[in-house]
Homo-oligomer: A and B are copies of this chain.
């Protein structure tokens, strides 16, 4: 059964919809109302109307067909409610409620599995469900959690809280998201199903995942291998250590395996492994938006000398190379830049650089045949960097080589950084992070080179 109706339903029943603002069933309904354009059916046996919408005692009381059910009732009645959904021929069910396998008791989960077998697909339980533009079922208040704009990364997370906090963080920095799925205990729909679905989703250019366990290793390998040749997959695996594994058992009921085994499997499947929450999106936003690195020679340009040095250090330490410029490039740079600029690699165009200096420098470096990719460090704090730098950086796409930007700063910088992110130019707050992104682009270059 395809998962597409989870993401494109025409009608949704919210089972456990509430009129009490502090209830999850209230916030979900509220957020669906402002985001979803299809038909919404609140289900609650005690009220004829909820938040201005006609309510129903049960899904069985709805006359029309329903494509998606979101369940937020207490764990002990979830089984009965799922049963009603199946009777109503709802084929897509999301169970937000917790209190299942993560408590150590798998009995109800097993019973629910039997009920839906061959009749419906189920995401959850113990999850946040789905977020995409036009479908916001997150039970987190919009005031507290900024929703990301539309983007080309899809993000699946076994942990709900890790998922939503990451969404909030990346949204703040201007990164867009295509689809977010928090899938919790993975009673039915698991990481492999979601990766398979997203591999065919035209809006998704990179799949980022936080996982605690893998349900079916063989199928996972098969799907991941196929997918990674079409689009990059980045995975952060939690429970790498014995202590982490113990913790994950009580979190999503997952049985995590040894770190070495996972790393080996990921490598074989063409998956890029993130070792920290930071790396997950450092990698994903570069991979989603920039071409892979064909080889490892990096050109550096900066209006802050210290950043050039740190970038050079980090490039070497990450197994990449500080490119040796062609003689012609240094000549062009010498001609085009003031004499106090440094025309070797890194090119230091000095703190008084303007956009013109960046444009000339970037052109010379990108056109150098000894350069495979470019790290551009921009300090928006310096007075001469006008916003025209944004289209200049966008124009670099034409060179067909990857570009990553390093730009640390506060609100003024962030406003510009958000614009760049929206244009698909990945921006990092530190040179070492920009270099990590390049390393991932090289890794993906090797993965697709092998096919």
Contacts and interface: CB of A to CB of B under 8 A. Distances in A.
Given A276-B314, A276-B432, 19 more contacts: A140-B381, A140-B382, A144-B381, A146-B411, A146-B412, A159-B304, A162-B310, A164-B379, A168-B381, A168-B408, A168-B410, A168-B412, A239-B313, A248-B309, A251-B308, A275-B432, A276-B310, A277-B408, A278-B432
Interface string A120-135: 0000000000000000
B410 A146 contact: yes
B412 A277 contact: no
A316 interface: yes
B380 A304 contact: no
Contacts of A442: none
Interface stretch (A39-47, A225-233, A340-348): A340-348
B306 A159 contact: yes
10 contacts: A98-B340, A141-B383, A161-B381, A168-B381, A172-B410, A210-B306, A239-B313, A244-B313, A246-B312, A251-B309
Interface string A185-213: 00000000000000000000000001010
A346 B309 contact: no
A430 interface: yes
A86 B287 CA distance: 57
A391 B115 CA distance: 49
Interface in A105-154: 139-141, 143-146
A241 interface: yes
A145 B381 contact: yes
A35 to B, nearest CB: 17
B409 A244 contact: no
A143 B383 CA distance: 10
Given A168-B413, A351-B160, A432-B276, A383 B144 contact: yes
Contact of A169 (B22, B139, B246, B429): B429
A277 B381 contact: no
A175 to B, nearest CB: 11
Contacts of A27: 383
Interface residues of A, number: 85
A171 interface: yes
Contacts of A429: 169, 278
A247 B305 contact: yes
A252 interface: yes
A238 B306 contact: yes
A158 interface: yes
Contacts of A304: 159-162, 165
A275 B172 CA distance: 27
A409 B168 contact: yes
Contacts of A238: 306, 309-310, 313
A381 B164 contact: yes
Contacts of A309: 159, 212, 238-239, 244, 247-248, 251
A315 B244 CA distance: 9
A89 to B, nearest CB: 32
Given A243-B322, A276-B430, A305 B165 contact: no
Given A313-B243, A430-B276, A159 B305 contact: yes
